[in-house]
Amino acid sequence: MNKRKTFFKSGITLVVSLLFFCNSVLAQNITPITGPWHGILQLNDSLMTPLEVHFELKNSSGKWSMVIINAEERILADEIILKSDSIFIKMPVFDSEFKCALEAGEKPGEGNTIKGVWINHARKTKNTIPFTAYICTPACKQELETKYSDFTGIGIWECDFSPGTKNASKAKGIFSQPDPAKLPSGTFLTETGDYRFLSGNYSGDRLYLSCFDGSHAFLFTGTIKGDSIVDGHFYSGAHHHEPWVAKRNDNFQLRNPDSLTYLKPGFTKVDFNFKNLEGKNVSLQDEKFKNKVVIIQIMGTWCPNCMDETKFLAPFYDKYNSKGLEVVALAFERTDDFNKAVNNIQRSKTRFNAKYEFLITMKTGKDQASEALPMLNEVMAFPTTIYIDKKGVVRKIYTGFNGPATGEAHTKFVEETTHFVEKLLSE
C-alpha cells in the first residue's frame, strides 16, 4: 500500500514538473524593442477613431522606462516590470496601470507588439480599456512627420459642450500649430480647469485632438467649417461622451475664477480638522498656521489639474515658506481605505518633492467636499484654492487651475498669484 502511495506521489510530481517545463517553454522571454511606439486605446466598440498614444520605451542598464508624449508634454513612467512574455507598467502619481502581453516579430524574443489593457483603479466601473501598441517603423515615422500646413483651426474658439441641455457648459478652445511640420495642438480651458496638453491631426476638415496622462484618456473630434466647428464629440475613457460645437471668437472669456466659489454670508474664515499622513489631527487653529499666510489646496491625486497645481505649489512653498507662507492640501481621494489614500498621496509628494502638509479627508467628490467645508457656497472644481491672510481672513478663492497647456493663461496665473501672495506676506 505504501509503495503504491509512493509511486502515485512520484507520478504527480513528474506530471507537475512536466507542466512547469512546458509552460516555461511556451512563455518565452520577450523584450520590447526600444524606441518610439504608436499605441491606441479603444474607448468603445462603436467609436471608429481610437485614441492614439505616442510613447517611447527606453532601457538604461536594465532599468526600463516609458515616456508618454502629449504635444510638448513628456510623462515619465519608470515603474515597469518585464516577466517572460508580459509587461506591466504602473503610471506615475495616478492609480492606474497597463497589463499587457508582448508579441515577438521576425526576431525571436524581440517584442514589436504590445496587447493588453489599461486599468484606471480610480474608477469603480468602466475602468478597463483595450490597448494595442506597435513599434514605430520608418513608414510610421514618415506618416507622423507629414506636414499639416492646411490646419485652419488656429486661434480662440468659444465652445459649447452638451448645448441645449441641463449639463450645458462653456469652454475656451485654444488651438495652435507653431510649426507647420508638426501636428496641431491645443487645449480647452473651462471654469473648472483645463484639458491639459492635447495633440492630434487634421485631415480634410476633420479635427482630432487627444491626451493620455495616466488618469484621463481624452478624445475630441469635430468638423471645421469656416468659423464654426460642428458635429463635435468628446470622449473621456469608456464612461463619458458628450457633443460639442464651437465658433471662432478671439475675444471670448470665461467667468472670473475668483468669483465662482465664495464664503457664505456671515463667514470670514475657513476651518477644518483632518488627519495627516501620520494619522495626527491637523487644524487651522494649530500653532504652525498662526500669523502665517496660508494657501489651502482642495485636491485629489486622481485629478491631473491638481497635479499640475502641486507641481507649481511645491517650489512656490519652498521659496516663500521661510518668509511666512504655509500650504496645506485637503485630499479628497477616491477610496475609503485610509492607508491606500496615504500611499496615493505619498507617491504624489515624492514625485513633485512637495514638502507641505497633506491631509486625508476620507471624503470624495464635489458634494462631500462642499459638506466638509460648509462655510463655502460650493466646491465646484478640483482643484479649488483658498488664500488666507495672517489674521486668518479669507482673501481669495480660486476655482480650477490654468495649467501649462493654456500658455498665456498659465503665465498670467503664475504672475498674479506670485504678486498676490507677496502682498499678503508684506502686510
Only one residue has cell 487651522, namely: 284
* Topology of the domain covering 31-140: Lipocalin (2.40.128)
Banded model confidence at residue 142, pLDDT cuts 50, 70, 90: low
- For the chain, give every domain's residue range: 31-140, 155-248, 273-426
Q: What is the mean pLDDT of residues 303-324?
A: 97
Query: Each residue of 194-222: pLDDT tens digit?
Result: 999 998 887 788 889 999 999 999 999 99
User: Are 152 and 224 spatial neighbours (Cβ–Cβ below 8 Å)?
Assistant: yes
Listed in sequence order, the residues at least 6 apart from 63 whose beta carbon sits closer than 8 Å to its beta carbon are 78
Q: What is the mean pLDDT of residues 352-371?
A: 96
Distances in Å between the alpha carbon of 192 and those of 3, 186, 261, 303? 76, 17, 11, 11
Dist CA 120 CA 151 (whole Å)? 33
Helices (H), 114-199: 138-144
**3-state class (DSSP) for residue 186:** strand
**3-state class (DSSP) for residue 33:** coil
What is the pLDDT, as a whole number, of residue 181? Answer: 62
Above 80 in pLDDT, residue 228? Answer: yes
Cis-peptide into 138, omega within 30 deg: no
Above 70 in pLDDT, residue 294? Answer: yes
What is the pLDDT, as a whole number, of residue 410? Answer: 95
Q: What is the DSSP letter of 335?
A: -
Range in 32-36, 124-128, 173-177 the model is least confident about: 173-177
Does this chain's domain 31-140 share its CATH topology with 155-248?
yes
Q: What integer best gives the mean pLDDT of the chain?
A: 90
What is the pLDDT, as a whole number, of residue 316? Answer: 98
Domain 273-426 CATH class label = alpha beta
Query: Each residue of 24-59: pLDDT tens digit?
Result: 445 578 999 999 999 999 998 777 788 999 999 999
- Domain 155-248: homologous superfamily in CATH: Quinohemoprotein amine dehydrogenase alpha subunit, domain 2 (2.40.128.120)
Contacts 24+ apart (CB under 8 A), 283-292: 284/328, 284/388, 284/392, 288/326, 289/326, 289/328, 291/324, 291/390, 292/324, 292/325, 292/326, 292/390
